[in-house]
Amino acid sequence: MSIIHISETTSTNEYLSELQKKEKLEEGTIVWTDFQTAGKGQTGNSWESEPNKNLLFSILFYPDFLEVAEQFILSQAVSLAIVDTLKPLLKNETVSIKWPNDIYVGNKKMVGILIENTIKGNSINTCIAGIGINVNQEIFRSNAPNPVSLKQLTGETYKLNDLLKTLQNNLLTRYVELCNNNETNTVLDYKENLFRKDGYYPYKSSDSVFEAKIKSVLPSGHLVLEEKNGEILKFAFKEVQFLF
């Protein structure tokens, strides 16, 4: 599978999106950069990264076998591929997926994911998954509340190219599961690897602060919480915050 390396770009998602409009790219094509001048996070947030220190890349899929209503399964598969990659490197740490798709180590964020899909009819035409992983950066200067890197936790310096190839293999493995209609395994693994999957924790919605436990995550991506009194609450992305 092709890996296109560029020294700098505004955003790997944007670069890959424009490239695939101009030419037919192989499924699994990756655009990897040393530095993003306008790296994007969810809902317009930025992503801090020192040049040549972290993994910043996007990968292209053509999941036309998925209907629009099923698109959250792509987010689950991508998240799991990153967990598959990090767990062997962080054997003494807890690696988990903070709904919907941030990757946490303990209570700190190591990975951000931004998935952008295009639609054709009732199906997904293209999926570009942008991924930023804190690898060798040791000091974070932005006001992001809780970043952490691999090097901060292990003291080791990682070869970005080797890590990227492992990630590419794991991403394709998880994607092939979806192609082979094995969505059940993806859903079960996602639930098993959820951040705060057991027990009651504090949350904040637009109008209240409350304690609840995770009951489920719906195929639509909605988070279902259950309060101690048994009341069930359902939230779309950005409608509820995890409190620490």
Q: Are 216 and 199 within 8 A, CB to CB?
A: no
pLDDT-derived band at 142 (thresholds 50, 70, 90) equals confident
Cα–Cα distance for residue pair 71/80, rounded to 1 Å: 15
- The 10s digit of each residue's pLDDT in 106-119 is 999 999 999 999 99
E runs forming strands in 62-200: 95-98, 102-105, 108-120, 123-133
Identify the pLDDT of residue 141.
80
* Angle in degrees, 0-180, between the axes of helices 72-86 and 183-192, rounded to the nearest 10: 60
| pLDDT averaged over every residue in the chain | 93
* CATH 3.30.930.10 boundaries in the chain: 3-192
pLDDT exceeds cutoff 90 at 143: no
What's the CATH number for 201-242?
2.30.30
* CATH 2.30.30 boundaries in the chain: 201-242
Is 139 or 1 the better-scoring residue by pLDDT?
Answer: 139
pTM, to two decimals: 0.93
Name the fold adopted by 3-192.
BirA Bifunctional Protein; domain 2 (3.30.930)
Q: Are strands 201-205 and 30-36 parallel, antiparallel or unpaired?
A: unpaired
